[in-house]
Chains A and B, each alone.
Chain A
Amino acid sequence: MNREKTKYTPFGVYEYEYMEAWLEDMAREGWMLKSMFTCFATFEETDPRELRFRIVPNAAFKAEDEEISFYEENGWHFADCSRGLNVFYCEDPQAPELFTDTRSFSKRTRNYAIGAALSVLAFGYMLWMVLSSSRDVYSEGILHMIHEMGALYFLSLSVLVVTVVIVGIRSMIKYAQHAKRIAREQKIEGKRNYRRLAAVNKAWALVALACVVGLIIGGAIAAFDFDDTPAVQNKHHPVSLEQVDTEFSSAMDTVLDMEENGQWAESYDYWVEEKHTVLFSEYREVQADYSDSYIDADTDTLQKHNDPEGTPLLSEEHYYWGIYAKARSEKVAERYLEESWQSVIKEDKVDKLGSDEKSLSAEGFDTAEYLRTNDIGYQYLFLRRGKEIEYICYLGPENLEDHAEAIMKDLSD
């Protein structure tokens, strides 16, 4: 059995002439092409032979049997096909060239390029789907990406994207040259310079490979870098509505008692919270929203079962929303809270109508900010203690600022 060796084929899909020259040199050195798979070619040791190799692109990948028969009748033999490139070789120096008309070859190139472009589009769509699943990680700017996913991940991703763009542009240029028949009409001696091109392509491939390894390692570091184990669902929120507005809390409990399996406190673990999956090891959120119309509807329910003359449970619109999170680091917690604060400041009603803002004195807390909007009076409380964050949005008759101390004590316990 003859020796075999597998080599990386350092040529792009449009660099036909260079690949042909490389295969001819390999045959001249006693290595005959046996098979190809993606970017690799397997050679079998044979006697040195003087062969001509020609590559025929095919949008349907492997050439049809009819076409192969055509070529066989003229002394050209089919070697193998990979990435839509069909390789033929010929030993007879008198045999005609496969393509004696550059227009016909360009037509094949064009059809192949259309097929390749569709594949690239499909790949790009899949890549977009993967990236969009973590789009919020990138949406807050470069610093967000560096800190959250790690410098290694960000650097690898950036270099990989640049590499893919550059290689893609080079391929498109070469495609355009073949489509305009420029490449095929160039002197044959030109394709002897494949060694330099091969070296450049190998360098690009190594860079891309290093980036992929960096992505995997960087992503693993970010994914497994947690301070605490994830919280389980339905764990009690450390600061509940009851501490802010007992009347509201009581009304909510009453309404929910009337509903089968009612639950007004909703909590999520960090797996469910899609936006900050790598920021927090623990994340819980509660919401309660009862406007007049909703209360009336539930009052009807209550009246049906209790007192037909019953009055509404709440006299005005109420709203409560609280988030508790334990971040990966103090830096992440600080930035996340700052971004949340800024997003509230930039909200339409705050931006246009203004608000009262103040910092609260809070022993043991790194951040304690209070804000009340000037419209119907939404109140916000932003607290940070080390890696822990709590922030609340409340609408109702109570003054959230008066309850801040109790809230902070409850959070500290």
Chain B
Amino acid sequence: MPKKALEPITESMYYVLLCLHEKNMNGSEIAECVRALTSDRVRLGPGTLYSILSTFEEENIIKKLDAEGRRIPYCMTSKGEELFQKEVQRLRKCITDIEGIKVIS
């Protein structure tokens, strides 16, 4: 079975979705948003960010909006919103499973 581009979502991909979930942003704004959100723990190199945005665009997770000068803002599509919510549910489940293991112990 061929490997799907978005399985699994990496941490970097998740934070890009998180930022775009809040508002439309261009690449620089996304990188700054992720850096601030994670207190510098996650830093997106321009190559990594460009690759992630290209992959998301190919998979119709995000789409480009009209360019503002040299910068192009992106917005999330409905498919992207669905993917984001699915990932959030998965992460919440991971946290609740921690409580579960404590009970078992």
Measured CB to CB, the nearest residue on chain A to B27 is A70
Contact B12 A66 (CB under 8 A): no
In the bound complex, residues from chain A placing their C-beta under 8 Å from that of B27 are 70, 73
Contact B45 A99 (CB under 8 A): yes
In the bound complex, residues from chain B placing their C-beta under 8 Å from that of A67 are 50
In the bound complex, residues from chain A placing their C-beta under 8 Å from that of B45 are 74, 96-101
8 Å CB contact of A100 from B28, B48, B70: B48
Contact A104 B28 (CB under 8 A): no
Contact B46 A70 (CB under 8 A): yes
Contact A66 B47 (CB under 8 A): no
In the bound complex, residues from chain B placing their C-beta under 8 Å from that of A105 are 47-48, 51
- Closest CB in chain B relative to A96 CB, distance in Å: 5
In the bound complex, residues from chain A placing their C-beta under 8 Å from that of B49 are 70
> Is B44 positioned at the interface, with any CB of A under 8 Å from its CB?
yes
- Closest CB in chain A relative to B11 CB, distance in Å: 8
Within 8 A of B (CB), among A324-352: none
In the bound complex, residues from chain B placing their C-beta under 8 Å from that of A98 are 45-48
> Is B94 positioned at the interface, with any CB of A under 8 Å from its CB?
no
The contact string, 1 if C-beta is below 8 Å from chain A, for chain B 34-57, is 000000000111111111100100
- Closest CB in chain B relative to A60 CB, distance in Å: 12
Q: Measured between alpha carbons, how far is A78 from B49 in the docked complex, in Å?
A: 17
Q: Measured between alpha carbons, how far is A202 from B31 in the docked complex, in Å?
A: 41
Contact B48 A104 (CB under 8 A): yes
Within 8 A of B (CB), among A93-146: 96-101, 103-105, 107-108
Task: List residues of chain A with CB under 8 Å of any chain B CB.
Answer: 54, 56, 66-67, 69-71, 73-74, 76, 96-101, 103-105, 107-108
* Closest CB pairs A-B (n = 3): A98-B47, A104-B51, A100-B45
